[in-house]
A and B are shown apart, each in its own frame.
Chain A
Amino acid sequence: MKYVDEFRDGHLARGLARSLATLARDDREYRFMEFCGGHTHAISRYGLEDLLPPNIRMIHGPGCPVCVLPVGRIDAAIALARHPKVTLCTYADLMRVPASGGMSLIKAKAAGADIRMVYSTLDAIRIAEAEPSREVVFFAIGFETTTPPTALAIRLAAQKQLSNFSVFCNHVLTPAAMRAILAGEGEGVEIDGFVGPSHVSAVIGVRPYQFAAEHFNKPIVIAGFEPLDVMQSILMLVRQLNEGRCEVENQYGRAVTTEGNVKAQAEVADIFELRDSFEWRGLGEVPASALRLREAYADYDAERRFGVTTPCAKDNPACECGAILRGAKRPHDCKLFGTVCTPETPMGSCMVSSEGACAAQWTYRRFDTQRVAS
């Protein structure tokens, strides 16, 4: 794979590991949160933790849009899908997310709801065009990365004057969540720096993370998702801390600019506006952390069109996902981990998506923490 293999070179990785071992001071710990599930996935899949000195610890953050979607929003989506005229289009990884009462989208589909897995927003538009008698609702979810395609779909629907297409908007914003985590520091959360999500910065640039360096004294390195990107970013964070610097650095210069994708930002700003507050599974209500459609596009807003309400739904009280998403606990600190909570039977958000902290630990690294009866 051209342009990918270069970032998976084991020889280079071992060289970076040696540099890290030399640079990391013995008299301190380095606790870095990788905000995004993509980084968690890369760290687990390539066994990067085995290459880090013992005093560098990675904390798996909340960065998986599937994981952080609260149960109530899934319940609302299922209620929408059960509407006899509605066809609910969704990205596949939402299908198995547990909702209330042991329900999920995949179970609702089996029970007869018209739920279709799509690979892009444009697939949902095509379904709306092909089936004018159906009310096609796109279940929009994701960070800043997947918001522009949703905006594009709404723009297209407006251009085509599609009257049977709408969006159930669940787009959330990463800087707000990072701010919430940092505001909660001291409650068992200790973070020395962040590995920042590069796909988000490809859209919004690096400036939105400046607050973390300026107000919370946490260095951030915007990092690519290849394993060498992650290793190099950790090295850059260690250097910053050793030199007493606290900056937002951009390791992923091959795709991320300071300003980001200005055109995409303008499109998103035209169609979406900030919600006052939004519930994140594990983090609770986070102010100004999510988007909804502007009044001008109300016709395409499924929440208004169908009068969607978000039921109040609680996670299992024994579930430690909240603490794990904030970095206060590790997956194996949860007594549900690997017992009743596994990828086949996820109880909490961190086990739901393959990129969640618990799913990554269970799937790739449970030899560290789990003994299975023979």
Chain B
Amino acid sequence: MDLSPLRHAEGCVVTKTYRRKLDMSGRVDLSHGAGGRAMAQLIADIFHVALDNDWLRQGNDQSVFEAPKGRMAMTTDAFVVSPLFFPGGDIGSLAVHGAVNDIAMSGSRPLYLSASFIIEEGFPLADLARIAESMGAASRAAGVPVITGDTKVVERGKADGVFITTTGVGVVPEGLDLSGDKARPGDVLLVSGSIGDHGVAVMSKRENLEFDCEILSDSAALHGLVADMVAAAGAALRLMRDPTRGGLAATLNEIAQQSRVGFRIEEAAIPVKPEVAAACELLGLDPLNVANEGKLIAVVAPEAAPALLEAMRAHPLGCDAAIIGAAVEDERRFVQMTSSFGGARIVDWLAGEQLPRIC
């Protein structure tokens, strides 16, 4: 029995009298979500250990923090990835990176995160601890603490292992006003590196679809790269966005709609790793539709493009950055691509779910 002092969790005071070490070979059961002692112990032994910081240690139902001067950015994102563990990451680190990146795409400096866990009854405690530890490591590496959270347990069959929702807040640097409606004809389009890595890494481990693949997810926090980009291009930056679900194709179509422009991109200029291209070929998928978790696209005034590209390439997460096209006048808001053959085609939104073809 561990008699070390306990922390408060979810407002529930657990005295050392009741302290029993959580059996990590066990599984989450409904009592872990019932608001009682078992839940307090789960939170204390897994989440507070993994995500430890001054705010969580206070054990309140909320965290109070200093609000810096200026405009704030806020985002929220739910993570339902399958499988939960994949080459290069897991749902825990992904939940941190996803929220940090959504904040960073406004050019903001991410400050704090919250995390909400929905756990399926029967989920192994060891796996939950692994996810929480990965989340803590990602949070510490990014310098963005998880300062409040919530835990719910649902009956077996009502969730797929673990769902995580993260919310983030950040502060926008003065003078910066990035937005999806700011692209103008003539602006230059850049991508920070190879596309499709995350989606292919996850698919390679998906049940019924396992294939040998060296590709790791690109899951990463991009706010450091963003800070360098803001320093290099400043107000010439029109917008940034991380092309997650739906891939580059969906992101460019979203921006085209918001900004009322078209895009013309060059297939030959878009970085795609040979393994990703091969896996997509095998499955009948287009890398342009495949998800990324550690890449961004940027639209910038043409005169600032060379400096921005140089700054991106100087950062480890942007070393393969490339100029892939430009915004053009087009009332139809088409994203068009010149193929490696010189022919033109539309790059469209995906219709429905991305599904492999039978032939």
Give residues in A with beta carbon < 8 Å to B.
1, 4, 8, 10, 13-14, 38, 44-51, 65-66, 91-93, 95-96, 106, 117-119, 123, 141-143, 145-146, 199, 227, 342-344, 353-355, 359, 362-367, 370-372, 374
Contact = CB atoms under 8 A, between A and B. Distances in A.
Contact of A366 (B346, B352, B357): B346
Contacts of B338: 47
A48 B343 contact: yes
Interface stretch (B112-120, B274-282, B314-322): B274-282
Contact of B358 (A51, A123, A142): A142
Nearest to A4: B281
A145 to B, nearest CB: 5
A364 B348 CA distance: 7
A14 B341 CA distance: 7
Interface stretch (B4-12, B30-38, B174-182, B328-336): B328-336
Interface string B249-280: 00000000000100000001000001001100
A374 B260 contact: yes
Given A344-B352, A354-B357, A45 B333 contact: no
Nearest to B344: A47
B208 interface: yes
B64 interface: no
B343 A93 contact: no
Contacts of A49: 343
A47 B277 contact: no
Contacts of B345: 44-47, 364-365
Given A343-B351, A367-B336, A51 B357 contact: no
A353 to B, nearest CB: 8
Contacts of B348: 343, 362-364
B1 interface: no
B278 A363 contact: no
Q: Which 9 A-B pairs have the closest CB atoms?
A: A47-B343, A343-B351, A92-B355, A50-B343, A374-B331, A364-B345, A91-B358, A372-B332, A13-B341
A91 to B, nearest CB: 4
Nearest to A360: B345
B274 to A, nearest CB: 6
Given A1-B274, A364-B346, A47 B358 contact: no
Interface in B226-251: none
Contacts of A8: 340-341
Contact of A51 (B208, B277, B281, B343): B343
A344 B343 contact: no
B359 interface: yes
B339 interface: yes
A50 to B, nearest CB: 4
B301 to A, nearest CB: 23
Contact of A344 (B333, B346, B351): B351
A117 B207 CA distance: 11
B306 interface: no
A95 B343 contact: no
Contact of A50 (B278, B333, B342, B357): B342
A181 to B, nearest CB: 19
Given A364-B348, A367-B334, A371-B332, A145 B342 contact: no
A342 B351 CA distance: 9
B209 A96 contact: no
B356 interface: yes
Given A364-B346, A374-B332, A93 B358 contact: yes
A166 to B, nearest CB: 19
Contacts of A50: 341-344
